[in-house]
Structure 1
Amino acid sequence: MKKLLMTLSLLVYCGLGCLAQIQIKGTIKDEKKAPLEFVNIQLRNTDSTMVAGTTSNTKGYFELNDVRTGSYRLTISYVGYQTQEIELNEISQSRDLGDLILQEDAFSLNGVSVTASAQHSKVDRKIVYPSERQAKVSANGVELLQQLMLPRLQVDPINNTIKVPGDGEVQLRINGVKVTVQEIRALRPDEIIRVEYHDNPGLRYGNAEIVLDYIVRRPETGGNFGVDIMQSPHVGWGNYSANMKINHKKSEFSANFWGGPRNFHGMYRDNIEDFNLGNGTELHRYEKGIPSRLKLMQQWLNVAYNLQDNNKYQLNITLNYSGYNRPISRYKGQLINRSDETDYVDMLDDNNNNEHTPSLDIYYQRNLKKEQTLILNVVGTYNKSFSDRIYQESQGDEMLTDIRNKVYGKKYSLIGEGIYEKKLANGNRWGAGLRHTHAFSNNDYINGHNYHTQMQQGQTYLYAEFKGKSGKLDYMAGIGGTRSFYRQEGNVDLYQYYTFNPRLTLKYAFTDRSYLRLRAAISNEMPSLGDLSAVEQEIDSLQIQRGNPNLDAYLHYSGTLDGEWSKGLFYAYLSVTYNYKPNAIMDEKFVEGDKIIQTWDNQKNWQRIAPMAQLRFGPIADILQFSFSGGLNHFISNGNHYRHHYSNWWLDASLSANWKNFSLMYQVMTNQNWFSGETLSGGENIQAIQLNYKWKDLRVGAGMFNPFTNDYKVQQENWNQYASSKKANYIQESAQMFFLTLSYNFSFGRHYNSAEKKVHNEDSGSGVMRTGK
């Protein structure tokens, strides 16, 4: 009995020893002995199985509790520093590892699992590394961008849009190649190494306000395939995409397709109009809309071949096709005299249009000795468009107004560019480039009169740029010169315009988590070929739209002061922007006989003052993250015969929650309106909620568009003294629109980092003057 009790006591003692609670702790510091916060610490078994993980606090301290006896490997990783591994053999008691020093390294994430999205700021861009959580819950590159919640960006994965407040251009690129949002949507999150967020793009990006460059891995052999479906079961609305990529040795073949059908039966508009013909004749009427139909199909196809030899050269050939077919866009209603509601006419405004745009892009990049790069790019584009508008006003069986405008358009364009870049010592860099764009348009306007226009337009742009650093001050200086010209058939004169385009950026970094930056630039803006057309088109019984072949190019002065600060889970960004456009091309209206003429002219000036702020908090417990952005757009529009002020407050808020394989996203965006000339163009006031479940390569989900509102509308106003209007466009199906999603992606083969194409050009304009109410 005594021996039995001793044996039991020995077993209990051994069991308690095996279950002893061991603590492992230490402090992470850099080479200057400064503490590093939010360093990723992982404790793994010798077979690499994950045991526990944590991050260092603001003092660099960490601790792992309740560790059992045994042998482990401690991995310490942090973006910008070399990963350190510590072998812990047969530990049986708590260990204090003391100060652990991490050495700086190049910014690479190979083999590092990041638990919180890491960022690194440069003078012209922010380098963002998605976290493991963000990549896991996202199905594609657009959803990953939404998870990153970057400053100023408004990401709508339901409608497939990426925008900034205002009318600024957002350029999307993959490994330096300019792409469409559909190609970003085709990206697998696990192949995305980082996102380079250029919020101060250099001169070679043209007038882009934001450039997003996804740096991705590329299979050396094998490839991948994926489909993405989003469909409403009760509304004619859907998004469908498919993509594939095959790699063999130095070659890569890829193809992408996206289609977006829309079929709504509840589209209508309400419109209040006031006319003053200047001779004492006035008309005040109200357009009361009747729900009618909108049907359209958008489609896009891309086929590409890429050849590269280790990092020596890269050849990329891409064939693109973009199609837009809107066979039905019908507004019906009654035009009611507000002074006598018994006095009304029936109105029909029926539009049918389509556009087809194929293009061929040939790109060659040669990496030379001594950190030099040469880039050549040629793009040819053909745009064929057709539009047919019928506008009628009737009273009973009597036709009072019957207008039909048909436009057949063809446009050809060629873009050629050469770029040279050279890396210097201490991270400095300089480069120069030459780009020429040439476009020809050939349009036929049939509206009771037959107009035939032939126009050409060109632009040559030469620039040079230098980036440098002095202590905590980063600077970027660029200088460019532009020669612009255009000519219309029948006009002997060739209009030429020369501009000087300097750009300067100064950025002072207080710490690696806070900076203050000043940006200033001068760019030029050209009139569109459509606005230059010497053509008249009737809008309704009282209004005529007329092009202006005497429009001049003009300059755009812009300046921005911005800064950011982050601490722990909190991030803040503040900015204020000022835009000034003297002689800006803006709309105007005037009376001619018994008609109102709507046209464009070089007005006195246009100005905008735009402060904004973004606050981001999270992720909390690697589960919850919030982002709130808001600001003001104040416009000053000084025309030759008018002066208007307009202010618009806006808000964009989003919430992201992730738990295990589930993810929830809720987003609210208020109207972001734009004012130019005498026209207020309204933005969308939308809400969206989506819940997804992801299992391996398959993800399913459900969501709702505008779940808590019934008043979705897009407003537009014109403040002209002779013909003012307040219009609101509605789509009834957009309220509580439920949809289902399914995404499936799989890949095969191993991966490596491919060379990055650094530039891509395109021409997406049709060159046609459009009309309508």
Structure 2
Amino acid sequence: MRRFSAIIFLLCTFALAMSAQHIQRNYHNRSMSDVLIDLDKASKRYKISFIYNELEDFTVTQNVKTANIPDAIRKVIGFYPMQMTVGDSLITVECIRKSERKLIGRLIDNHNLPVEFANIQLLNPKDSSFLCGGVSNANGDFVIPCQQKQALMKVSFVGYKTICKLVPIARIGNVKMQANSYLLKGVTVEAARVVEKVDRQIIFPTKEQVKTASNGYDLLDNLSLPTIIVNRAERKVQSLKGGDVQIRINDVKASMQDVLALQPDEVTKVEFINVPGLKYGDSNLDAVINYQVRRRYAGYVGGVSTMQGTKAGFNNSDGYFKYNVKKSEFSINYSFSYRSVEERSYESLGTYHLPTGKTLHRNYLGYDSPFLYTTNNVQLGYNLSEPDKYTLNVRLNFYNHNSPVRGMNQLYQESGKANQYLQNNRKMLEQIPSLDIYYSLNMPHDQNLALNLVGTYIGTDYQYRMREYTFNKSPDESVKNAPLTDYSYDATGRKRSLIGEGTYSKNWKQMALSVGGQYNISHTDNIYVGSSNADTELKYSNLYLFTQLQGQQKWFSYQVGVGATRSSIHQGENGYSKWLFRPQVTLQAKASDRLSFKWSSKITSDIPSLSDLSELRQYSNSFEARDGNSGLKPFTGYNNTLSASWNIPLMSVYLEGNWTYYDKPIATSILPEKREDGSYLFVSKPENQKSHDYKHLLLTPEVHLIKDHLDLNLMCEYQNVKTKGLDYSHEFNYFSYGAEIRYMTGNWNIGYGAYKVEKSFWGEKTNGGEPTSNLAVTYSYKNWQFGVLGLFVFYPHGCVYKDELFNKYVQQKNKVRLADQGNMLVFAASFNFSHGRRYHTGSRKLNNSDRDNGIR
């Protein structure tokens, strides 16, 4: 009986709560009279009384979410000179400054965007005494009743130059305010200087940085973020720390096409999240870059761009178009890339120690081999949004990657043996259609619910050709004979995946809570036919749950959270299912308005790749092969970072120290395997090793030599890495440095950057990246931008990638050379066009994608 009574009580309480009236309206540039009429119709209890003509000139741009009619009226009245009287069943609204004359206008900024909550004072022209005043609303509109025929209008707002001019008391149209500096919570931020938060830096682009940029990549390059390198030609954003960088627009994970379609003058600020929280779900992220953008609500915007190289086959071309009508936005994006290299070679010098004690020296000298690929990417989008209420976003994407030629031919030399010619070529065709559906709902009391569902199909056709011939004068003559060995195979891959994610967030005045989860399920079937015959069928599922709390108390900020992942991968009877936990805490302390310290600690988890789990042997040549390992297990990382950031108007300095320890990381083991004929095959196999200990110290000073025009960025980094395997132990030390200088004046933007080759260390191998020595000169004229880019400047012999192997059985020095990319000039041109007013689509919180086909 008690249980029944409790249920009845709860149901009654719920029914009463549901029956309470909730007012939710979104008004844009509506007259006050119309708004009050609308609220009167929505009211169940009150009758609203007012004089129509008295309030007709006052406009309302406001999102109203309240529990009752009186609160709704208070919100729409705002700072207008009005008073409201509430009775039992009657509400009276009247203007308390009655006058036949009114000063009516609208405040806008340099980008024709409204300036809200600006203070407007009307002064007597004779003695500057105060007459009356008002405040602009969310649309920048203001209406101030005044008996005078003219007055001195004084307009002031933080971040803008104060306006003082004589105006008639009438309709004066738009009043433009000029940006000055940004004042945020007592911290003045000149130009594009930095505001420090617990997990991010907030950067406000300057007029020069916006003016000389034609897309999101250009603007990001102009900002010169610490630890971030932007490659304009390749449309890449890289971290100096070696991890991934995620790009977002209004909290939405953005594609390359989205960043290219970004209009720099619509960017209000850029958030550089250098301590990504648990909600991003990727433990390999070094940073998240989030553009905050104001979009259009009517009209259209579009653009085209192209880059053409002068030496190697190099072209990037893009086009986009967006059309907005009422609450909808329709969009299409297309991008095309073409690369063709003739002078590409791969060289390997190796020493092999046999178990018998014998040592062999094998050299693989590279021949120039062709390399070609094209990519096509089409994205269709539809967005239905009522800002501050809901957002529905649907994207249909089709990605095509075709690489018909990827040669790597070599001359094999070994003392005491006849030379051999190795003919190696690979072909791959990859087609990936995907459908992405996203919905976000804003609820009362500053709550949000976001849902995302992504379905992806990956079709891959892969061809691997590896043949060894007795060398006869030249490669062409050698292949006329029958091959000594043939390790060729074909692979057909089909993968289907579904990713679902949901998050709930609640904001208070000084605290925010986020709770969410993601479920990813996929089925991969890769069939290998040829020298390797196998059908690797992998079933994968991953459940990720997290909760995160963030807050601030005066000079102290914090972010704490915990995530839990359950990963399950199975190939036939082999596989694993395991729970992994990922706690994370970040603390920030401000020593002053200019100096802040930050400490972050987290536990990460990494899972094996699909290709490593495939039980398949692949031969590189008759001497070397690689196996998969279905017995791999996930491994855990412990990461601690301490950083300091110091900002003054003419300089900013970022200093970071990091220590990361991985327990039982996955790295390659190499062991000799004796064959029936007595020879040895060196087999590489991924295994869970003992540990990986990584320390680094990074310093990135930025000097503003000429304010808003000339910037110099410096970087120096020291790395210490200790790796322990099942049968090895190594220590690596490396020092790198680099610099960028950029000059912006008028319509010109000139920049040059050079960095020492970055190296990464894992297991028993060091990997070197590409050298950076790039020059960019651009000129902007109205909607056009023209530019010349210099890639690998001062590298006449081209780009060289180097790596080394330090195994006790095998020592190798490998080098890939792209000769025809040295000192390459790329000519670029872009044109953007737009028409109509701005459209604000709701910020998207989630975005997922899948590009892992599992083939190796």
TM-score normalised to the size of structure 2? 0.76
Q: Is 2:531 the counterpart of 1:448?
A: yes
For 1:755, the aligned partner's letter is G
Separation (CA, whole Å) in 2 of partners of 1:126 and 1:104: 15
Output aligned runs, 1:324-723, within 5 Å: 324-337=401-414, 339=415, 343-395=418-470, 396=472, 397=481, 399-425=483-509, 427-489=510-572, 491=573, 495-593=576-674, 594-618=680-704, 620-711=706-797, 712-723=799-810
- The answer to whether the Cα contact below 8 Å between 1:703 and 1:740 also exists between their aligned partners in 2 is yes
| Larger CA deviation: 582-591 vs 162-171 | 162-171
Separation (CA, whole Å) in 2 of partners of 1:78 and 1:678: 56
Q: Is 2:160 the counterpart of 1:85?
A: no
- The answer to whether the Cα contact below 8 Å between 1:262 and 1:295 also exists between their aligned partners in 2 is yes
Partner of 2:399: 322
Of residues 824, 828, 841, the one that matches 1:754 is: 841
Separation (CA, whole Å) in 1 of partners of 2:843 and 2:809: 55
- The answer to whether the Cα contact below 8 Å between 1:314 and 1:364 also exists between their aligned partners in 2 is yes
- The answer to whether the Cα contact below 8 Å between 1:115 and 1:133 also exists between their aligned partners in 2 is no
Partner of 2:274: 199
Of residues 350, 370, 374, the one that matches 1:273 is: 350
- The answer to whether the Cα contact below 8 Å between 1:564 and 1:573 also exists between their aligned partners in 2 is yes
- The answer to whether the Cα contact below 8 Å between 1:257 and 1:302 also exists between their aligned partners in 2 is yes
**Cα distance, 1:170–1:73 mapped onto 2, change above 3 Å:** farther
**Cα distance, 1:653–1:185 mapped onto 2, change above 3 Å:** farther
Separation (CA, whole Å) in 2 of partners of 1:309 and 1:664: 41
Separation (CA, whole Å) in 1 of partners of 2:340 and 2:182: 58
Of residues 371, 382, 390, the one that matches 1:305 is: 382
Separation (CA, whole Å) in 1 of partners of 2:654 and 2:665: 31
**Cα distance, 1:72–1:718 mapped onto 2, change above 3 Å:** farther
- The answer to whether the Cα contact below 8 Å between 1:447 and 1:537 also exists between their aligned partners in 2 is no
For 1:604, the aligned partner's letter is K
For 2:263, the aligned partner's letter is R
Separation (CA, whole Å) in 1 of partners of 2:244 and 2:108: 46
Separation (CA, whole Å) in 2 of partners of 1:76 and 1:309: 31
CA shift for structure 1 position 335 = 1.2
- The answer to whether the Cα contact below 8 Å between 1:611 and 1:632 also exists between their aligned partners in 2 is yes
3-state SS of paired residue (2:408): strand
TM-score normalised to the size of structure 1? 0.84
- The answer to whether the Cα contact below 8 Å between 1:405 and 1:537 also exists between their aligned partners in 2 is no
Q: Is 2:257 the counterpart of 1:182?
A: yes
- The answer to whether the Cα contact below 8 Å between 2:575 and 2:630 also exists between their aligned partners in 1 is no
Separation (CA, whole Å) in 2 of partners of 1:612 and 1:190: 32
CA shift for structure 1 position 346 = 1.7
3-state SS of paired residue (2:163): strand
CA shift for structure 1 position 559 = 0.9
CA shift for structure 1 position 537 = 1.3
Residues 139-195 of structure 1, C-alpha deviation per residue, up to 9 Å, x if partnerless?
A: 111010011011111111111110112431211111111112332122111111111
- The answer to whether the Cα contact below 8 Å between 2:532 and 2:618 also exists between their aligned partners in 1 is no
Separation (CA, whole Å) in 2 of partners of 1:731 and 1:591: 32
Q: Is 2:363 the counterpart of 1:290?
A: no
3-state SS of paired residue (2:600): strand
**Cα distance, 1:232–1:179 mapped onto 2, change above 3 Å:** same
**Cα distance, 1:506–1:74 mapped onto 2, change above 3 Å:** same
Separation (CA, whole Å) in 2 of partners of 1:505 and 1:106: 21
**Cα distance, 1:116–1:72 mapped onto 2, change above 3 Å:** farther
**Cα distance, 1:521–1:105 mapped onto 2, change above 3 Å:** closer
CA shift for structure 1 position 512 = 2.8
For 1:377, the aligned partner's letter is N
3-state SS of paired residue (1:331): coil
Of residues 801, 805, 813, the one that matches 1:726 is: 813
Separation (CA, whole Å) in 2 of partners of 1:478 and 1:236: 48
CA shift for structure 1 position 404 = 0.2
- The answer to whether the Cα contact below 8 Å between 1:277 and 1:596 also exists between their aligned partners in 2 is no
- The answer to whether the Cα contact below 8 Å between 1:166 and 1:674 also exists between their aligned partners in 2 is no
3-state SS of paired residue (1:183): helix
Separation (CA, whole Å) in 2 of partners of 1:670 and 1:257: 34
- The answer to whether the Cα contact below 8 Å between 1:115 and 1:132 also exists between their aligned partners in 2 is no
Task: Find the structure with the greater CA-based Rg.
Answer: 2
Structure number having the greater strand percentage: 1
Output aligned runs, 1:97-112, within 5 Å: none
- The answer to whether the Cα contact below 8 Å between 1:386 and 1:408 also exists between their aligned partners in 2 is yes
**Cα distance, 1:592–1:506 mapped onto 2, change above 3 Å:** same
- The answer to whether the Cα contact below 8 Å between 2:192 and 2:204 also exists between their aligned partners in 1 is yes
CA shift for structure 1 position 105 = 7.0
Separation (CA, whole Å) in 2 of partners of 1:753 and 1:627: 35
For 2:723, the aligned partner's letter is S
- The answer to whether the Cα contact below 8 Å between 1:648 and 1:672 also exists between their aligned partners in 2 is no
- The answer to whether the Cα contact below 8 Å between 1:408 and 1:445 also exists between their aligned partners in 2 is yes
CA shift for structure 1 position 362 = 0.7
For 1:85, the aligned partner's letter is I
Output aligned runs, 1:135-154, within 5 Å: 135-154=210-229
CA shift for structure 1 position 269 = 1.8
3-state SS of paired residue (1:751): coil
**Cα distance, 1:127–1:543 mapped onto 2, change above 3 Å:** same
For 1:461, the aligned partner's letter is Y
Separation (CA, whole Å) in 2 of partners of 1:481 and 1:640: 29
| Larger CA deviation: 447-456 vs 254-263 | 447-456
Separation (CA, whole Å) in 1 of partners of 2:666 and 2:430: 26
Separation (CA, whole Å) in 2 of partners of 1:701 and 1:296: 25
Residues 2-39 of structure 1, C-alpha deviation per residue, up to 9 Å, x if partnerless?
A: xxxxxxxxxxxxxxxxxxxxxxxxxxxxxxxxxxxxxx
Separation (CA, whole Å) in 1 of partners of 2:588 and 2:561: 15
- The answer to whether the Cα contact below 8 Å between 1:268 and 1:291 also exists between their aligned partners in 2 is yes
Q: Which runs of 5+ in 1 are unaligned?
A: 1-46, 51-70, 90-100
Separation (CA, whole Å) in 2 of partners of 1:725 and 1:104: 57
Separation (CA, whole Å) in 2 of partners of 1:630 and 1:78: 37
For 1:638, the aligned partner's letter is K
**Cα distance, 1:75–1:281 mapped onto 2, change above 3 Å:** farther
Separation (CA, whole Å) in 2 of partners of 1:408 and 1:164: 34
For 2:491, the aligned partner's letter is V
Separation (CA, whole Å) in 2 of partners of 1:636 and 1:744: 50
Percent of residue pairs bearing the same amino acid type: 29
**Cα distance, 1:620–1:439 mapped onto 2, change above 3 Å:** same
CA shift for structure 1 position 263 = 0.9
For 1:607, the aligned partner's letter is D
Separation (CA, whole Å) in 1 of partners of 2:488 and 2:851: 26
Separation (CA, whole Å) in 1 of partners of 2:730 and 2:650: 43
Residues 58-95 of structure 1, C-alpha deviation per residue, up to 9 Å, x if partnerless?
A: xxxxxxxxxxxxx999987654xx76434499xxxxxx
Output aligned runs, 1:203-242, within 5 Å: 203-206=278-281, 207=283, 208-242=285-319
Residues 640-660 of structure 1, C-alpha deviation per residue, up to 9 Å, x if partnerless?
A: 011111222222321111222
Q: Which runs of 5+ in 2 are unaligned?
A: 1-106, 111-150, 168-179, 473-480, 675-679
